[in-house]
């Protein structure tokens, strides 16, 4: 079974902060405006919201990683 976690590419990320607005259950911003993402596997009922945040990152820095 494959499960999903959220990952940020810190080089690509420029701190727009949109992800934290769209998915505040999972992502908060540090003192400099960069996302701190919870490392745990995303529960099924939040997966759509995670995908929504990924789709809306202007820097394409957020992605869902498949882990076995």
Partner 1 sequence: MTIATGRTAPARKTRPLPPSRLLAGASPDSYIGLATHRKTYTLPPPPSAQPRYSLIDLMGAAGLLGRGGAGFPTARKLKAVADGPGPRVVVANGTEGEPPSAKDQTLMTHNPHLVIDGAVLAAAAVGASQVLIGVDRAHRRALEAMRAALAERTSTEGLGVDLRLAGTPSRYVAGEETGLVQWMNGGPAMPTSVPPRPFEKGVAGRPTLVQNVETLATMALIARHGPEWFRQLGTPDEPGGRLVTVSGAVGQPAVVEAPIGTPIGALIDAVGGPAAELSAVMVGGFYGTWLPVDALDTPYSRAGLLPLGASPGAGVVLALPASACGLAETARVVSWYAGESAGQCGPCIFGLADLSELFAQVAAARANRDDLETVRRWAGEIEGRGACKHPDGAARLVRSALTVFSDELTRHMSTGECRGNGRPVLRVPPPGKTWR
- Nearest distance in Å: CB 58, partner 1: 15
Tokens describing residue 6: 């959220």
Shortest separation between residue 9's beta carbon and partner 1, angstroms: 5
Contact letters for partner 1, residues 9-48 (x by CB under 8 A) = xxxxxxx--------------xxxxx-x------------
CB of residue 8 to partner 1, shortest distance in Å = 8
Residues 6+ apart with CB under 8 A from 50: 4, 6, 23, 26, 42, 64
Place of tokens 């745990």: 40
CB atoms within 10 A of CB 25: 11
- Tell me which residues touch partner 1 (CB under 8 A): 8-15, 30-34, 36
């Amino acid at each position: 079974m494959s499960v999903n976690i959220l990952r940020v590419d810190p080089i690509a990320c420029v701190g727009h902060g949109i992800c934290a607005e769209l998915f505040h259950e999972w992502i908060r911003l540090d003192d400099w405006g960069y996302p701190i993402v919870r490392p745990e596997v995303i529960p099924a009922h939040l997966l759509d919201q995670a995908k929504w945040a990924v789709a809306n990152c202007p820097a394409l820095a957020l992605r869902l990683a498949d882990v076995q």
